[in-house]
Chains A and B, each alone.
Chain A
Amino acid sequence: MSVKQISVFIENQPGKLAEATRYIAGHGINLRAMSIADTKDFGILRVICDDPEQSAEVLREGGYITNVTEVLAVGINDAPGSLATILEIIAKAGVSVEYTYAFLGTRMEGAFMIFRVDDNAKAAAALEAAGIKTVEQSDMF
């Protein structure tokens, strides 16, 4: 029903993101999807990768503040209105969306959207009821 996303706290300073991604690469972690939220002082790097718990541990060992969050991943048609439809279903269920980002799949056709919502189960149920399947971690790699 949901996938595990790793979030990493990165200071908003030149080179910090490069340093973090080099560290991730150096430990053989392949990023499937990512997004960055930024403020004046800091950014939050959010990534989807295989074996999230192990990858998070590796990041912690490297001194990075890391957190693992369950987020929803939904396959989305490459057609106008697809995203709006999904957001409307989630909204109608009374669930609020904290943030969202997109990435292209490899095993499946089309794109995925990641949704960070305040109630995964409720949003997933509403989507299933509307015939939209959420994706499991294993479907993505």
Chain B
Amino acid sequence: MKENYYQPEIECASVETLKALQDERLVKQVKHVYENVPYYRDLMDKKGVKPEDIKSTADLHKLPFITKADLRDAYPYGLLAKPLDECVRIQSTSGTTGRRVVAFYTQHDVDLWEDCCARAIMAVGGTKEDVCQVSYGYGLFTGGPGLNGGSHKVGCLTLPMSSGNTERQLQFMTDLGATILCCTPSYAAYLGESLHEKGYTPETIPLKAGIFGAEPWTEEMRRDIEKSLGIKAYDIYGLTEISGPGVSFECSEQSGMHINEDHFIAEIINPETGEVLPEGEVGELVFTSLTKEAFPLLRYRTRDLCVLKREKCSCGRTLIKMSKPLGRSDDMMIIRGVNVFPSQIEAVLLNEGYTPNYRIEVDRVNNTDTFDVYVELSPEMFSDTVREITDRENKLAAAMRTMLGIGPKMHLVAPKTIARSEGKAVRVVDKRKLH
């Protein structure tokens, strides 16, 4: 594959050039944030840091961290750094206990985000000749809008499919000759199986590459998908808080994701102490957005555990690489691409009159996540008919879907059958081997 860049002057810039750009942007960004976001000003004042203390990226560690809890406290406008009338878009993700994260974008923010996605598409060989099928969800979820914008920037013919409706996905993929597929890895695996059932073989479809993200996946799954669809499968990483997909992306080398360092500074910290760790060590990934105008986060703790490595890459890019997330430093699960916290499940159960005795079981069967929640039935809920119990289970599953954006299979079980332990209850059984 011929190497292909969207912005080679950045993607292949010398480390010194990147560093100088980061220094300059960081100083400007800290000033912007301090002046326009009272919430941040308080955080910095409390830590005794003034904007003038930040002279380069070497001073980054002086800044306070910001966490999901801050985002919740500041909801919805508390972290906004631009007047609302300069904002053109929001994207959102579910947060803990039901409060969502709402991120704001100016037109400039949208442009830069789409540039990041365009880099990811070109890194997998995408050009204006390509037909790019975007099968991530469109809407509040950043997957669809991000890759859609990136695909436009590259000049691909964009198929804005959104997720679901597999029949239609396959019809457009085959009739219009999609060459690049963007979706969650589990959906890619499912599309592959569905194509085989219809009698297609990898040789009969023009698909050549896939950009798959929004959920954890393994090297085995990559090989399965590559074989099943006859493509190269690439990882992409991002989060709504920072912008969306395209914070980092894989190149032809398929050995880690290049971080778009002109827009984001990555650090790895010890999640217990907050201490910055040297390159190559496993720790929590922290991002500082350098160019975001409306919703700029400084030192945002992602809770993803990763390793950073700067080494010469055969693709020619000099951007630092991050490993796939190796785990989480909190209890968040990603199920079928959706972020799920046990606390959200607990909130629904209490709200619906159940006890907080529950067990969550997650597994991956045929490359698709299964999601089961077991909860104890209380005597007053019991009736002699199966229908009333299954109605209860369905009602609970619907309430879960409203809260989480994804519906578990609910199971009502007899009282006192869910194990209780002295210390922290084991509420989550994740049987997937993701890392």
Contact = CB atoms under 8 A, between A and B. Distances in A.
Nearest to B415: A65
Contact of B414 (A9, A37, A69): A9
B390 A67 contact: no
B375 to A, nearest CB: 11
Taking chain B's interface residues, is the majority helix, strand, or loop, or is none over half, making it mixed?
loop
Contacts of B383: 7, 67, 69
A39 B415 contact: no
A67 B413 contact: no
A44 to B, nearest CB: 6
Contacts, number: 51
B416 interface: yes
A45 B170 CA distance: 47
Interface in B403-433: 411-417
A48 to B, nearest CB: 12
Interface string B368-389: 0000000001110011111101
Interface string B298-331: 0000000000000000000000000000000000
A11 B413 CA distance: 7
B416 A63 contact: yes
Contacts of B385: 37, 44, 98-99, 116
Nearest to B389: A42
Contacts of A134: none
Given A41-B411, A42-B412, A65-B414, A9 B377 contact: yes
Contact of A7 (B377, B384, B411): B384
Question: How many A residues touch the partner, as a band?
Answer: 20 to 34
A39 B390 contact: yes
A118 to B, nearest CB: 10
**Pairs A-B, 10 closest by C-beta atoms:** A7-B384, A65-B382, A69-B384, A37-B386, A41-B411, A65-B379, A67-B382, A11-B414, A98-B385, A9-B382
Interface in A54-71: 60, 63-67, 69
Given A39-B390, A66-B379, A5 B384 contact: yes
A9 B378 CA distance: 11
Given A41-B412, A65-B377, A66-B379, A11 B384 contact: no
Given A60-B379, A65-B379, A42 B384 contact: no
5 contacts: A39-B390, A41-B412, A63-B416, A64-B414, A65-B379
Interface string A5-33: 10101110000000000000000000000
Interface string A82-96: 000000000000000
Contacts of A7: 382-384
A73 B4 CA distance: 80
A65 B412 CA distance: 12
A19 B417 CA distance: 14
A46 B382 contact: no
A60 B412 CA distance: 18
A17 to B, nearest CB: 12
Given A9-B414, A63-B415, A65-B382, A98 B387 contact: yes
A39 B385 CA distance: 11
Nearest to A64: B414
A65 B381 CA distance: 9
A99 B415 CA distance: 25
Nearest to A98: B385
A41 B389 CA distance: 11
Contact of A42 (B378, B387, B413): B413
A21 B384 CA distance: 17
Nearest to A16: B414
Nearest to A7: B384
Contacts of B377: 9, 65
Contact of B413 (A41, A44, A46, A116): A41
Contacts of A10: 414
B291 to A, nearest CB: 52
Contacts of B416: 63
A64 B415 CA distance: 8
B412 A46 contact: no
Nearest to A6: B384
B130 to A, nearest CB: 46
